[in-house]
Structure 1
Amino acid sequence: MTTAPGLTTAPQGELRLGARTFAPDELVVMAVVNRTPDSFFDRGATFAEQAALEAVDRAVDEGAAVVDIGGVKAGYGAVVDAEEEARRVVGFVERVRERHPEVVISVDTWRSDVGDAVCRAGADLLNDAWGGHDPALLEVAARHGAGYVCTHTGGLAPRTDPHRPAYDDVVAEVVAALDELAGRALAVGVRPDGIVIDPAHDFGKATRHSLEVTRRLDELVAGGWPVLVALSRKDFVGESLDLPPDERLEGTLAATAVSAMLGARLFRAHDVRATRRVLDMVACIRGTRQPAVVRRGMA
C-alpha cells in the first residue's frame, strides 16, 4: 500500500476561528443545524427559525463549540437558488451571533455570494462542502478573515452523487487534492491558522473508500492541517451495518472514536451530547484530558 504524500504547507499548531483558539490536542464538536425542509436525517426538524434557534441553544449546552448552519440539502432535491439559500441562512446567522457571541458560526455553502453575506452577518468559518466549486469563495474567506474548510469531492458538481468512483489509492488522491486546495487558499490570503481539511466521507466515494480513508486518517493528520470529519449518520455507516439513518448512531460513534484516536480534531455531528462524551473519553485514554472525578481505589 502506498503512503500518501504529506501536506507540506500546513502550520502545525493552534486553530483560530472567530474569537476561539483551539489547541492541537483539543477535540471540537461541530453541531449540524440545517435550515432545510428535506435534510436526509432530521427531515426538516430545524427548518423553522424558532426550532433552529432552539437546536443551536441545545447544541451549545451539550458541548458544541462550533455550529454549522446549512441552507441547502447536500444531495438531490428541489432547486435552491442563491437568493433562497441566503434567505434561509443570513438573518439566522445574525440571530445566532446575537444569542451566542462566543460560539464559532460555520456556514455550509459553496457559493461565494452567500459566503460574503454570511460573513458580513457574523459567520467565522466557511464550510465549502463542494471542494472549491466556486473559486471566489476562497477570496471571500480571505477578505473577511474567516476560516475555510477544504473538502475532497472527487470533482463532483454540487448536489450530485458519485457513480462507480475509482481510485488507485483513495487516500493519496484525497491528500493531493486537499494539498492543492489548501495551497490555493493560502495563495489568495486565507489565514494559515484558519484552514481545515475534510476528506468528505461519502462525497465522491463509495463505502469502501470512506472506510479506507477512516482507517488511514493518520496520513492526512501527518500533514499538519487540522482535520475535520463529517461522519454523522452517513451512508458508509449505514451500508457497513445495513441500517437506516435513524439507527446509525452507534456506528457513527465508533467511527468518531477511531478518527479521534488517529488525530482528527473537529467532528461534525447531529448527536452533540453523545459525540462530546465519546471525544472526552478518547481524550482521557490519550492522556490529553484528566478524568472528571477520581474516586476508585482512593478511599
Structure 2
Amino acid sequence: MEKPWVEKYRPKTLDEVAGHDEITNRLKSYVKNKSMPNMLFSGSPGTGKTTSALCLARDLFGEHWRDNFLELNASDERGIDVIRTKVKDFARTKPIGDAPFKIIFLDESDALTSDAQNALRRTMEKYLDICRFILSCNYSSKIIPPIQSRCAIFRFSPLKMEDIVKKLKEIAEKEGLVLEDSGVEAVIYVSEGDMRKAINVLQTAAAVSNVITDEIVYKVSSRARPEEIKKMIELALDGKFNEARDQLYKLMIEWGMSGEDILLQIFREVPNLDIEEKKKVHLVEAVGECDFRIVEGANERIQLCALLAKMGVL
C-alpha cells in the first residue's frame, strides 16, 4: 500500500528541508562539528520541526541513526513515569557505532506535565556527556524556564509561499498532476503556511481530478472561496440582512462549514474590506464576541445571524 504523500515526500536530509535556511545552516554546522547542544524547536504545526530533527539524526549518525535516536510523542506519553523509565533507560546507555552521543526527540513536549518536565531537567543535566535532547512544541511558553535555559531555542515560522509552491510543483510533476495557478493559490490560502496541510490537501484534490483547480481545492478542504465570505460581509454591512443570511446558509448547508470555520474566514477577510479602519476594529470585536459565545455552547446559526445583524448597524 502506498504511503501518504506527507511521508512519501518527507525530506531525508537537511539539504532537502524547505525554507528556514538560517536554522538549517545552524543544524548543518552541528553535523559538521559532530557536536550539538540540547535544543528546543518551537513553532506552529507543519513548519518542519519533526522533519528537521529526523534529518539531523540521519545526517549525523548515517546508517546507525535508528539505534541512536529515540522519538517519543509527549502528548501520548506525558507522565513522569515515561521520563523515569523510557527516557532514562535510553539516555544512560552508550551510543552505537562511532556516534559521539545519542539523541532523544520529545515531540509535542508542551504536553508534558509539570512534574515530568521537572524530572526531565535533571535527566538532561545528568546524561549530557552521552545524550542530547531535542524538544519540539507549539507553545514554548508551556515549557518551564529551567528547561528553556538548558536549550538552544529554534523558532520555526510558517513557511513562505514560494517554499510551499516549489514543493507542490515538485510533487505534481512526480504524480502527473496539472496544477493550475488558481489551484496553487487556493492551497496556499487553505494551508496558511502549514506544509503538511498543503500536501494533504493536494493529495485529497488529486483523488478527485488530475487537474487541480481552486474549485476542487476549496471543495475538498471544506472552505469557502474568500470572495464568497467577502460578499456576505459586504451585504451585511450594506444593511441587506436577508441576502447576507441566505449567503451564510449556503455556506453552512452546501459547503458543510461549521460556525467556527466561517468565523475564522470572516476574521481573515476583515483587513481586505474597503471600509474605514474604525469599522474594521468594531467588526473584529464583534467577531471575537461571537466566537466566545459559540465556544461556550451557544447555537452557532443564531450567533452568526446576530453577527450579520450587528454588521448592519456598525
TM over 0.5: no
Q: Normalising by structure 1, what TM-score?
A: 0.28
Q: Normalising by structure 2, what TM-score?
A: 0.27
Return the structure number with greater helix share.
Answer: 2
